Structure 1
Amino acid sequence: MGIVSTGRELSPPCTDGSWVFCSWVFCSWVFCSWVFCTDNASHNAIADEPSYPILPEQRSLQLRSPGQLLQVAVPQTPRPPTVADPQFDAPPRNLTLNEAINITLGNSQVVRVLSGVTASTSGRTIYDVAITNTTIDQQKGAFDPTLRFNNVWNQVENPIGIPDPLNPGNTLIGGTQSEAFGFDFGLAKKNLLGGTSNLGVVSNRNHITPGIYPLDPSDRTATEFSYTQPLLQGGGKAANQAPIVLARIDTERSYFQYKQAVQRSVQGVVEAYWALVFARTDLWARTQQVEQAKFANDRTVARVESGDANAGDLAQTELALENFRASLLASQASVLQRQAALLNILGLPPYEAERTVPVTPMLEELITVDWNQINELAQRERPDIIELKLILEADQQRILVAENQARPQLNGVALYRWNGLEGVAPAGNRVRSNAGDFEDWSLGVNFSVPLGMRAERATLRQRQLIIKRDRANLDQGLHNMQQLLALSLRNLEQFYAQYERYKAVRAAARRNLEQQLAQYNEGIIQFIVVLQAIVDWGNSVSSEAQSLTQYNTEIARLELQTGTILQEHNVVFFEERFRSIGPLGRCGKDACYPRSQPPSTSVMRYEEGTQPSEEYFDLENPVARKKPDDEDQDHAKDLDPEMDVEFEKIDKNKDGEMSDEEINDLLKNRSALRTFSNFLQKQLRRE
């Protein structure tokens, strides 16, 4: 570096144009930054921070409109069925219960559960377990070696003022230039005992001008090995690996939470399926009631016109008809709601071109349940009980950490260092120290402790109390498990007993209907008695179907309470993997890691059916055994309830309208009464 002679005026710090160059570079950088920020300010989304050198203050609310957010394509489907447009005439699609469960499991990226007449998300997905599994490696990362590699190039020029020996009134500005290169290498590794090993290499090269020095340039090196071992707090394998064990427990908890959601989903499919079967059976029964009420009302209208009945009789039949129509509307809505709930939990859109028809027959035998066996099975297999056990295991690990942290800090330290020096002597020859000539070592024990250790002791007490609390929660979980098992067992036997009783009621209702119809044909009783018999028969069909569907649904619920519903349906989980960045980073080959854990779609438990499930209830004409005579069939006339009743004269030529007297005679004729029996046979026959 040159010497500049100065008087009282200051000269530029350099005369080689470097100051001008630096100023030009700085101005260019400012200008380019301003152009870049100005150009991008109009293109960046409002959610991004503006790229200004100095970010402005946020002095207003900047909220994006919904149109500026991410837009997702919604599947376009036709209008779903409603009571105004039930679409019952759509082509049927037979659906077995096995297929329904398999479709649900295949669409279970997000697990859905049944909630009344709809399905909602359980909050669990097939990715949850794999996501939680990553925390194990995150905790293991604390024991991975850490590599440090630093390089530093420095140039330092220090100007100094010195007296001018030739002119005492003048000052010369001079200085020295120091060029240095620093190299720092380190490798540290923590072990499961809490100790930390460290290997380090440090090298510094210096060159100073102007001047003559013993070594210039000089290289100073040091290689050291150190080890620090906690003896009390932070020491021990159990306390140091506790975070890894906790991460594994959290992964298991995530798995059993996901498994419980899938179990509830399978049980929900079974419940939705049988609920649809009952709704369809109830709809059939209510439809028959409406048809009979319409016929009765039309017949009463004709009798009123002929003077054989009064307005009170007509009002009674009209009221019965409207009540039956209201019940039919509710049954139609129930079918649509139950069908929509089944499609929802299956993961299908609310509209389908084909009408879903359940075809799986229901179980009609009473299953035997071993009370002690299902209790033992439930405490071993129920995911919620397993989760409570895992929580206790996690508490044991956390109390190990708390006990370790409640100790004083006592660390043993050891260090050994090899120092070296080499450089160029003024004569130009290179000299260096011999290996092992200069060595450092250090041994020590470090101790520190908070007086009283209030925070640590409080944390330990907290963990001790948490263990007692979670143990009580486990006892409560077992208590609740037994109560739910007892409830399912009571419901199971209750629903089956009700099914047997309603089955007997249905048989009695059929006999009653046949008897009342026979007496009505003889003119012994009024038609309202026959109508009541039809109502009782329809209600008995609905009650029988409801009790049997409840029984089959309760079987699945009992399997859910024991935690074995997936095993009973042959549902297992398999691991899907994906490639991601491996230990060698972007320069190496990607490694395979867990991605998701979807359930299998191999349910083959239930019997395959060939007809609608409600047909297994023997939905047939309740008066099918009452066959009219051939002579009566020749004289019988079918009545269309949708059209006005028109009476025609019946004679040899079958022409001309009947007079009022002939109509009255016809209403008294038994063959006309048997027309109602033919109507029942036609309307109650399953299409």
Structure 2
Amino acid sequence: MLNAAPPATSRRRGFSLRATRRACLLAALISTTGCGVFDHIKPGPHDTVESYHDDYAMRIEYPEVHTCSTAPSQAAQQTTEPLSLEDPSKIPALEMSLDEAIQLAVQQSSVLRSIGGTLVTNPQTATTVYEPALAHANPFSGTEAALSAFDAQWTQQLFWNTVDQPQNVNFDGGFAGQFTPRVAQQTQATFNSGLTKQTAQGASFALRHVINYAYSNNPLRRFPSDYGGYIEAEWRQPLLQGSGTTYNRIAGPNSGIGQYNGVLIARVNEDVALADFEQAVVTLVSDVETAYWDLVVAYRILEANVKGRDAALQTFQYQQVRLEAGAGRSDEEAQAQSQYFQFRAAVEQSLGGTSGLYTAEQTLRYLIGLPATDGRLIKPTTKPTDVKVVFDWESALGQALTRRVEVRRQRFNLQRREMELTAARLNRRPLLDFLGKYRWRGLGDDLIGGGDNGQLDNLYDSITSGDYQEWQAGVEFTMPVGLRQASVAYAHAKLNLQRERAILAETELRVSHDLSAAARQITLAQQLLETNYDRYQSDLRQVDVLRRRYTDGTDNINFLLQAQRQVVISESSFYRALTDYNLAIRDFHRQKGSLLAYNQVQLAEGQWAAGAYRDAYEVGRCLTPRLQPQETCVPRPLTRGPFDPSTPQPTSVPQGMPYVPDSMPAGDEVLQTMMIDESETTLK
């Protein structure tokens, strides 16, 4: 026996064992040496075949998408050659007021633009007009998504299966010899149909219908096939955790501990999205006004530089005539020529420079959705305000702490945390549910139809006869000992609430500081406007005096050249101060939360779908107004009512004589005193 050959089975097992060992050895070698082992494998015939992956799989391709023509895309395609140093007086003017610019900016684009934005490099951060609708239509956190948890659910199932199972049963009564096993053969089918509904109180109702079909070769059966089934009604009512309208409106039905996505939470999320959209609109309006006044001051600075260049040219030409006549000096002629070229460079810079006329005009064009260049040049028609504006501080501070969109947004966040704390407190209870079921059973040889089987003729006759009825009633109790997770969730909700309250208090403090800085800036800008105007008038008089003295030959040309430079600088400073004053008024309205009303911008919901108006009309016919609301028990409302950020709020002024600055030159119309409301239309 020791020299006998092993059986075939043993040989196969030995070969399998050796192959397994070799595979394990190869896997271990690869895992320790990486892919380096394949470096020693010689190239095979497959290496001479060109791979599809080499030429196509890794190449860069252009996407094929469906696009539609819109106003921004048409503006991008219609852009002409940019302007650089062309004469603005020879370009057709496109007259535009500030109100028209803001109207174009808020109406002609679905993307809210901003100065210095990162739309191209970071498009996911862009704000569009679709953001509120996206928040509402969010399938996870929107209001409709939260309401869908209360929708009725209809489920159906239909399955078939067969059984062909041999059994260890001997009907001959003996154990010797061969026997044929009995085979249990069955054909089964199951049909389930159910309708479930969740209520706002936490209860769930269900109506189910189950049909089971079975065919069997069991000799003990009355008939080989039958239909069995039942119709069942179920009611499950939470008594502690998960019960009540308050909890289900906040957390939603069947929500876990620490998970809050009910209808009220979804509503607050939509309000926060609306506040973010309003903030983007405020930023857009602010940027448009900034670009508009920058264009105004660009025109003024260009005009001042052109006047300085023309004056320098006259001085240079006059000096050339004197030099040719033998009465002038060459160094004075060179100084006059140098100043001429200096002003010429300033004119060129104020035309095409980074802060020049064409750059400022293109910035405004982008914000209002026009092509970068279209052969026309925007010419502002709104004159900057140069009168003294007086605000009542107490009224402005009260409005800032209530109207600022940042404050309202943070209050919505605080309201959400308050509701989460309520839900977390209600979760600190055991799970106690009442469960009730009632069932009508039946059995029949046929599903529907007549036969000769008496009471078991068909299934539906058996069910509707009411001979077989069952019911169940009871309670289910579940409680984690210690309620550790619920307690931690409650502590977490309390900390979140304290955090949001601290942020709200800090937000209000920051708003008051920002408003104070804006009010200070108005006073400073108004005073600088007066000072720069007086400076400009003084420099004009100085140029007139020095020009006469230079013409008479009693003074050096250096004083005249210096005075000419100084008058251009003071004129530019005056117009910059005038623009800064208008921007300071704008900033005060922004900090006060009234910028939209100041620029007459209104936010409104778009048109509904046609069927929505019909649905609202039909639902409204079924509603009855409460004549005595105090007698109606309703949940606490989320908001105080509608809020329109575009509604003008009058700002009163202290009684008494208006302030007139002492330094205002007599006869000037540059500085006056005006007491206004938020729309800047009421003069007193």
Alignment match, 1:651: none
Instruction: Work out the CA distance in 1 between the residues paired with 2:293 and 2:198.
Output: 60
Alignment deviations for residues 257-314 of structure 1 (CA, whole Å, 9 cap, x no partner): 1011111111211111111111110111112212222333344445445554444434
1:397 is aligned with what amino acid? Answer: M
Alignment deviations for residues 29-63 of structure 1 (CA, whole Å, 9 cap, x no partner): xxxxxxxxxxxxxxxxxxxxxxxxxxxxx9xx965
Alignment match, 1:100: 101
Structure with greater Cα Rg = 1
Q: Are residues 1:292 and 2:300 paired?
A: no
Alignment match, 1:471: 501
Matched residue SS, 1:67 = coil
Within the candidate set 513, 520, 526, 2:556 is matched to 526
Structure 2 counterparts to residues 405-424 of structure 1, below 5 A: 405-423=427-445
Kept in 2: contact 1:86–1:336 (CA 8 A) = no
Kept in 1: contact 2:597–2:645 (CA 8 A) = no
Which range moves more in the overlay, 502-511 or 486-495? Answer: 502-511
Instruction: Work out the CA distance in 2 between the residues paired with 1:251 and 1:177.
Output: 60
2:222 is aligned with what amino acid? Answer: P
Q: CA deviation at 1:246?
A: 0.8
Instruction: Work out the CA distance in 2 between the residues paired with 1:438 and 1:164.
Output: 36
Within the candidate set 382, 394, 398, 1:376 is matched to 398
- In structure 2, the CA distance between the partners of 1:173 and 1:465, relative to structure 1 (3 Å rule), is closer
Alignment deviations for residues 343-380 of structure 1 (CA, whole Å, 9 cap, x no partner): 11112222221111112122222122011111111222
Instruction: Work out the CA distance in 2 between the residues paired with 1:86 and 1:405.
Output: 74
Q: CA deviation at 1:155?
A: 4.4
If the length of structure 2 is used for normalisation, what is the TM-score? Answer: 0.69
Alignment match, 1:202: 210
Alignment match, 1:137: 144
Alignment match, 2:454: 430
Alignment match, 1:608: none
Structure 2 counterparts to residues 495-574 of structure 1, below 5 A: 495-574=525-604
Alignment match, 1:79: 81
Matched residue SS, 1:576 = coil
Alignment deviations for residues 588-621 of structure 1 (CA, whole Å, 9 cap, x no partner): xxxxxxxxxxx999x9xxxxxxxxxxxxxxxxxx
Gaps of 5+ in 2: 1-52, 68-72, 251-261, 457-461, 613-643, 649-684
Structure 2 counterparts to residues 212-361 of structure 1, below 5 A: 213-242=221-250, 243-304=262-323, 307-332=326-351, 333=353, 334-361=356-383
Instruction: Work out the CA distance in 2 between the residues paired with 1:66 and 1:476.
Output: 51
Instruction: Work out the CA distance in 2 between the residues paired with 1:181 and 1:245.
Output: 44
Instruction: Work out the CA distance in 1 between the residues paired with 2:116 and 2:531.
Output: 30
Gaps of 5+ in 1: 1-57, 583-598, 604-687
Matched residue SS, 2:390 = coil
1:99 is aligned with what amino acid? Answer: E
Instruction: Work out the CA distance in 2 between the residues paired with 1:196 and 1:63.
Output: 55
Alignment match, 2:618: none
Alignment match, 1:191: 199
Instruction: Work out the CA distance in 2 between the residues paired with 1:600 and 1:399.
Output: 30
Kept in 2: contact 1:149–1:184 (CA 8 A) = yes
Q: CA deviation at 1:390?
A: 0.2
Q: CA deviation at 1:186?
A: 1.2
If the length of structure 1 is used for normalisation, what is the TM-score? Answer: 0.69
Q: Are residues 1:485 and 2:525 paired?
A: no
- In structure 2, the CA distance between the partners of 1:277 and 1:250, relative to structure 1 (3 Å rule), is same
Instruction: Work out the CA distance in 2 between the residues paired with 1:224 and 1:305.
Output: 118
Alignment match, 1:126: 129
Q: CA deviation at 1:410?
A: 2.4
Q: CA deviation at 1:205?
A: 2.9
Alignment match, 2:674: none
Instruction: Work out the CA distance in 2 between the residues paired with 1:410 and 1:117.
Output: 54
Alignment match, 2:653: none
Which range moves more in the overlay, 152-161 or 377-386? Answer: 152-161
Alignment match, 2:157: 150
Q: CA deviation at 1:454?
A: 2.9
Instruction: Work out the CA distance in 2 between the residues paired with 1:470 and 1:63.
Output: 50
Within the candidate set 434, 448, 453, 2:478 is matched to 448
Instruction: Work out the CA distance in 1 between the residues paired with 2:119 and 2:335.
Output: 38
Matched residue SS, 2:600 = coil
Alignment match, 1:33: none
- In structure 2, the CA distance between the partners of 1:420 and 1:162, relative to structure 1 (3 Å rule), is closer
Alignment deviations for residues 140-184 of structure 1 (CA, whole Å, 9 cap, x no partner): 11111111222334444446698898x996655774543444332
Kept in 2: contact 1:159–1:173 (CA 8 A) = yes
More strand by share: 1
- In structure 2, the CA distance between the partners of 1:63 and 1:241, relative to structure 1 (3 Å rule), is farther
Matched residue SS, 1:147 = strand
Instruction: Work out the CA distance in 2 between the residues paired with 1:87 and 1:211.
Output: 106
